[in-house]
Chain A
Amino acid sequence: QPVLTQPPSASASLGASVTLTCTLSSDYSNYKVDWYQQRPGKGPRFVMRVGTGGIVGSKGDGIPDRFSVLGSGLNRYLTIKNIQEEDEGDYHCGADHGTGNNFVWVFGGGTRLTVL
């Protein structure tokens, strides 16, 4: 099954842009990855799915246009432009993996985004 790797932390100033990275383990370069936002004390919120061709399907409910994704090789990126205070929180990437009669969801360790 794939392993997803995320940097533990990132920061950006109010109004700036930031790109978060989720790296798939080798052999899984064709996998799609889902991005989830988790504000402090809240449950995760689906942001959008990304493959090598970019966004797959639709954004999650209420996700603003400031959020976008790209995919390249083993990396799946989430870019947030014009960062707002409400964007602070943890960002998780996840992927589903099914083989034969088994199925799992795997998640990265999460990146904590601090808005300065």
Chain B
Amino acid sequence: EVQLVESGGGSVQPGGYLRLSCAVSGFTFNIYEMNWVRQAPGKGLEWLSYINGGGTTMYYADSVKGRFTISRDNAKKSLYLQMNSLRVEDTAVYYCARQTTNPLDHWGQGTLVTVSP
């Protein structure tokens, strides 16, 4: 069974940082592209970042470029999102999602990040 489990969320002040993790199981992690997507309270989905299977190609949404960094450790079957210079508007539930021949076919349950003074 494919499983993705996010962790690392919490409360932080503006300007602070957090590192999210996504632990996966049930599939060969290193051949899949991965993404981070977030959802602010009561809002729709917002894509944040993409990484290829080898960890050599990354893309970012303009809203987080220069502040967030995506990475992966294929040996540990884990995906990460380093989030620096956090803003109030970064408050959201953060999801990791597996990408296969385009669709985001499996998602985690999410981890909540709250940024407030």
Contact = CB atoms under 8 A, between A and B. Distances in A.
Interface of A: 32, 34, 36, 42-46, 49, 57, 60-61, 92, 94, 96, 102-110
Given A102-B59, A104-B59, A104-B61, A49 B103 contact: yes
A66 to B, nearest CB: 20
Interface of B: 35, 37, 43-47, 50, 59, 61, 95, 97, 101-110
21 contacts: A32-B102, A44-B95, A44-B97, A46-B103, A49-B103, A57-B101, A57-B103, A61-B105, A92-B44, A94-B45, A94-B47, A94-B104, A96-B102, A104-B61, A105-B35, A105-B47, A105-B50, A107-B37, A108-B44, A110-B44, A110-B45
A23 to B, nearest CB: 15
A43 B59 contact: no
Contacts of A57: 101, 103
A25 to B, nearest CB: 16
Given A34-B104, A57-B101, A43 B47 contact: no
Contact of A107 (B46, B102, B105, B109): B46
Nearest to B103: A34
